[in-house]
Amino acid sequence: MGDFYKFTPLKNSNIAWKYFAPIIGNNFGTAGLVAGLYLRSGCDPFTGYENYIGNDQLELDDFAYDKKGFGMGRWKSWIRKQSLYNFARKAEEPIYDIHTQMAFIMDEFSGTTYGPVLQGLKDATSVREAAYLVYDKYLDTKKRSDEKLEICAGIATDIYNTYAGTSELTVPVKYVKTEKRLRVKSQRSKSLLQIARRTLGYLEPGELYKYVTMTDDGKEFIVHYKDQFGYVRGDKLQVITKMEAIK
C-alpha cells in the first residue's frame, strides 16, 4: 500500500483528530500529526496486514523483522514495530486497534527521541510548520522527498479546514446486510494442515453488520460479528453506506 496523496474525511481520521486534539491543544499541531498518519496509511490501523485480521497471535520475529509497514503510522523499522508489539501486549489490547496505536504514538512522544516533536506540535504557529515537523522528525520512512513534504502540508491544510472548529463530525460507515440467514465462519487457518473453520454464528436477514474489508481472493467479506471478525460469502451480501456522527 502506498502513500495517500489526497485527503478525504474518513472515520479513522475523525477518530484520530478527536483523540489527539485535546492532548496537543493546538489545532495546527493536531492537523500536522493527523496529516502525517493520513499520508502514510489513511489512518488505517490494519495497513499492511489485512490478511491477519482476527488473528492476534502474530509471532514477534515474523512481525518485527518482516520489513513491512504496519498500522496507522505504517511503522517499518524493526525497533518501532517491536516497541508497538510490546506496548500492545503489555496493555493487553489488540495490536490492530486504532486506540491502541494512538496510545502507542503518545507513548513514543513521552520518550526522548520523539518528545521534542510533541512539544513542537504544541507550539506550532502554522499548519505547514507542524506538517513539516511530523514529516521530517516522526514518520517512519527513509524515502523522503520535497514533493511528499508539500503533499503532507497540503493534507494538513485540508484536515485543519475540515476539523478545526467543528463540533460534530460525520463520516461514511459501511455495513453489510443479507436477505437470507448466512453462516459466519472463523478465519482460514494459515497452517499447512487442513483445519476446519469454526462457525461463529449467523447473520440475520435485515440486520446491519459493520464491514471491514474483503479477502484477497474477493470471495468473502470480513465483518464485525459479536466483537470479533467473521468471514461471510461475498456473493450473498449487500453493502450499505451510512453517514454517522463520531461518538
Which domains does the chain carry?
11-163 (1.10.530.10), 171-245 (2.30.30.40)
What pLDDT score was predicted for residue 166?
A: 61
Burial zone of 1 (CB within 10 Å; 0-12 exposed, 13-18 middle, 19+ buried): middle
The ranges of the chain with pLDDT < 70 are 1-2, 48-61, 166-171, 189-195, 245-247
Question: If you average pLDDT over every residue of the chain, what do you get?
Answer: 85
Report CA-CA distances (Å) from 214 to 92, 156, 228, 229: 27, 30, 15, 12
pLDDT digits 0-9 by tens, 131-168 = 999 999 999 987 788 899 999 999 999 999 999 876 55
pLDDT reported for residue 218: 80
